[in-house]
């Protein structure tokens, strides 16, 4: 664009100067012609200014267009960098953090839990009051190709002086058929009702004397293979073969622990709404898988019964029956288990020399019954699936408005009878115990505040009374120099799981 060599302001000054000259200075010229000349000059300058304004407007539009082009180019490059040719991934939180693609080809669910306890015991000489991390777990389940799933979970709580991480679940599932699913790896073999529960959803802080990790069960977890499923909407079953040696242990011999569990919900069969009429039976047979039979209280504290010197290859046969009756917010649950042991106990002296052998064929009989009431009116039937009770979802979660979550109260009685073993109990039944017991009865009273489906606070009072002691005619357990016939425990737990 060609620009005017003289600035517009200078021309205005010239015009003003010329207009202000005295008439005498222009007497020799034609005044009228001079005025026309000046008017023509002014018009010329105005046209030049209009042309300049037009050129400035054109330049401004060009600059705006160039700026828009640069912005569009940057946006396009940014979108191109973030563009993926794969399928989108969706994330959600529902009882766990999940990631999945839109086609359903794969799904990853992250799960974890933390259970923090405070425990108070009487007599205090038997057990110290303590803060404890009962469980701290983290893991995930990866489902792929619709029919397959892999689950791995680790336990991080430091219990019993064990500071290493232990694997709880580590298995592969094939789930093509609802009535015949296959599981292989390390998992929880399904025996009984209470033991099948996830520890997230126990009615009380610990399982009963009949089903906790003690003399009847080697461990919660074992390695092997299991066939399970729901062939009918009201019928559930499982059949398994495992090592029988417990968590994170491969078998040391060819013997396997085989078992079966069958259960039915007759309320579903009869079409009764808001109810569960559960009945089931379990059976297993195999090696004991351990060299001691020990039993602790429901407070997870005092070991009051312990048989040593047995062989892990000795025989164990178990059977049990179970029931749960539910209507609305009330649940009555009971279970009976009989475990028969047969083998030979070997007694050794301090020099590890065999001093005696005692053949034995003895039974442990245990049972419990509990009653639980969801005070806020939630239904137990909503949490029941495939023969087990699970997560309770409050009608209103605890929040800053009018929600207070769900409240539950419960009571449980459990009984443990190993009096058949009195003939082979030894004085060294458990560390510090000089007069062990072969029978115990426990009462547990509990209150539970379920803030939301994933968080809860539980308070339990547990009283365990001991009977049938090693020394005839005595009626007290002797532990750490303190004699008493009962243990009392108060357990407060805060839990979050997903």
CA distance 150 to 108: 10
Per-residue pLDDT for 454 more than 90?
A: yes
Per-residue pLDDT for 217 more than 50?
A: yes
Per domain, the residue ranges of the chain are 8-76, 112-497
Q: Where are the alpha helices (DSSP H) in 292-345?
A: none
Cβ-contact 200, 113 below 8 angstroms? yes
Strands (E), 94-180: 97-101, 106-122, 130-144, 148-155, 166-174
Rg value, the chain, Cα = 41
- Strand pairing report for 388-389 and 384-385: antiparallel
Closest CA relative to residue 120, chosen from 111, 131, 112: 131
pLDDT confidence of residue 80: 54
With tokens 């005498």, the residue in question is 24
H or E segment and range at residue 90 = strand 89-93
In three-state secondary structure terms, 26 is helix
Per-residue pLDDT for 424 more than 80?
A: no
Which are the contacts of 122, defined by CB distance < 8 A and separation ≥ 6? 487, 488, 489
Q: Which residues pair with 226 in a beta bridge?
A: 183, 240
- Does 75 or 191 have the greater pLDDT score? 191
CA distance 202 to 107: 28
Interior CA angle at 134 toward 429 and 457, to 5°? 125
pLDDT confidence of residue 300: 85
Which of 154-158, 379-383, 447-451 is predicted least confidently?
154-158
With tokens 């007497």, the residue in question is 27
pLDDT confidence of residue 143: 92
Closest CA relative to residue 438, chosen from 292, 336, 294, 288: 294
Cβ-contact 412, 204 below 8 angstroms? yes
Per-residue pLDDT for 83 more than 70?
A: no
pLDDT confidence of residue 75: 66
CA distance 346 to 74: 82
CA distance 431 to 427: 10
Interior CA angle at 202 toward 196 and 206, to 5°? 100
Per-residue pLDDT for 429 more than 60?
A: no
- At 347-399, the pLDDT tens digits run 777 777 777 788 899 999 999 999 999 999 999 999 999 999 999 999 999 98
pLDDT confidence of residue 232: 97
71: region left, alpha or beta (phi > 0 left; psi from -120 to 50 alpha)? alpha
Q: Which residues pair with 414 in a beta bridge?
A: 368, 442
Q: What is the sign, positive or negative, of the torsion defined by CA atoms of 228, 231, 234, 239? A: negative
**Virtual CA dihedral for 421, 426, 428, 431, nearest 10 degrees?**
10
Give the best-scoring range by mean pLDDT among 61-65, 229-233, 477-481: 229-233
- At 99-123, the pLDDT tens digits run 888 777 888 999 999 999 999 999 9
Closest CA relative to residue 389, chosen from 419, 410, 415: 410
pLDDT confidence of residue 23: 45
Question: pLDDT class for 81, splitting at 50, 70, 90?
Answer: low
Closest CA relative to residue 8, chosen from 50, 59, 55, 49: 49
- Output the average pLDDT for the chain: 86
Return the half-sphere exposure (C-beta side, CA atoms, 13 A cut-off) of residue 110.
7
Closest CA relative to residue 79, chosen from 89, 69, 71: 71
Instruction: Give residue 150's Cα distance to chain centre.
Output: 16
Q: What's the per-residue H, E or C state across 278-345? A: EEEEEEEEEECCCCCEEEECCCCCCEEEEECCCCCCCEEEEEEEEEEEEECCEEEEEEEEEEEEEEEE
Q: What is the mean pLDDT of residues 184-207?
A: 94
C-alpha distances out from residue 305 to 129, 416, 436, 437, 486, Å: 22, 10, 6, 6, 14
Cβ-contact 257, 242 below 8 angstroms? yes
Which of 18-22, 204-208, 292-296 is predicted least confidently?
18-22
**Fold of the 112-497 domain:** Porin (2.40.160)
b/e burial code for range 293-302 (CB count within 10 A of at least 16 → b) = bbbbbbbbbb
CA distance 436 to 123: 16
Question: pLDDT class for 86, splitting at 50, 70, 90?
Answer: low
Cβ-contact 167, 154 below 8 angstroms? yes
């Amino acid at each position: 664009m060609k620009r005017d060599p003289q600035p517009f302001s200078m021309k205005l000054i010239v015009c003003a100067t010329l207009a202000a000259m005295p008439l005498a200075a222009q007497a020799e010229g034609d005044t009228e012609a001079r005025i026309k000349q000046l008017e023509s000059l002014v018009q010329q300058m105005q046209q030049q200014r209009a042309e300049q304004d037009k050129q400035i407007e054109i330049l401004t539009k060009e600059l705006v267009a160039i700026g828009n082009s640069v912005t569009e180019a940057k946006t396009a490059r940014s979108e191109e960098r973030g563009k993926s040719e794969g399928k989108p991934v969706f994330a959600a939180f529902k009882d766990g953090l999940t990631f999945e693609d839109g086609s359903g080809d794969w799904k990853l669910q992250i799960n974890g839990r933390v259970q923090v306890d405070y425990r108070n015991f009487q007599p205090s000489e038997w057990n110290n009051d303590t803060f404890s991390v009962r469980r701290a777990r983290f893991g995930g389940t990866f489902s792929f190709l619709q029919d397959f799933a892999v689950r791995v979970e680790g336990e991080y709580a430091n219990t019993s002086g064990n500071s290493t991480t232990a694997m709880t679940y580590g298995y592969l599932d094939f789930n093509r058929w609802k009535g015949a699913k296959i599981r292989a790896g390390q998992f929880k073999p399904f025996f009984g009702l209470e033991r099948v529960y996830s520890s997230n959803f126990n009615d009380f802080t610990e399982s009963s004397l009949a089903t906790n990790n003690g003399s009847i069960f080697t461990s919660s977890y074992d390695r092997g293979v299991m066939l399970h499923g729901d062939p009918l909407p009201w019928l559930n079953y499982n059949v398994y073969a495992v090592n029988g040696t417990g968590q994170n242990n491969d078998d040391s011999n060819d013997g396997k622990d085989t078992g079966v569990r069958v259960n039915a919900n007759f309320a579903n069969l009869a079409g009764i709404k808001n109810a569960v009429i559960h009945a089931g039976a379990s059976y297993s047979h195999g090696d004991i898988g351990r060299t001691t039979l020990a039993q602790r209280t429901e407070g997870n504290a005092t070991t009051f019964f312990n048989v040593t010197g047995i062989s892990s290859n000795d025989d164990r046969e178990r059977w049990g029956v179970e029931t749960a009756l539910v209507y609305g917010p009330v649940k009555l649950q009971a279970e009976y288990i009989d475990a028969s042991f047969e083998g030979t106990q070997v007694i050794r002296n301090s020099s590890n020399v065999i001093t005696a052998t005692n053949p034995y064929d003895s039974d442990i009989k245990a049972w419990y019954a509990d009653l639980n009431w969801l005070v806020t009116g939630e239904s137990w039937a909503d949490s029941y699936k495939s023969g087990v009770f699970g997560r309770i979802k409050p009608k209103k979660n605890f929040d800053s408005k009018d929600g207070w979550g769900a409240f539950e109260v419960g009571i449980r009685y459990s009984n443990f009878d190993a009096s058949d073993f009195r003939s082979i109990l030894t004085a060294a039944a458990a560390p510090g115990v000089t007069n062990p017991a072969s029978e115990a009865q426990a009462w547990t009273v509990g209150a539970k505040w379920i803030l939301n489906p994933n968080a809860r606070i539980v308070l339990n009072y547990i009283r365990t009374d001991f009977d049938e002691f090693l020394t005839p005619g005595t009626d007290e357990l002797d532990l750490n120099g303190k004699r008493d016939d009962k243990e009392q425990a108060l357990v407060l737990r805060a839990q979050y799981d997903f």
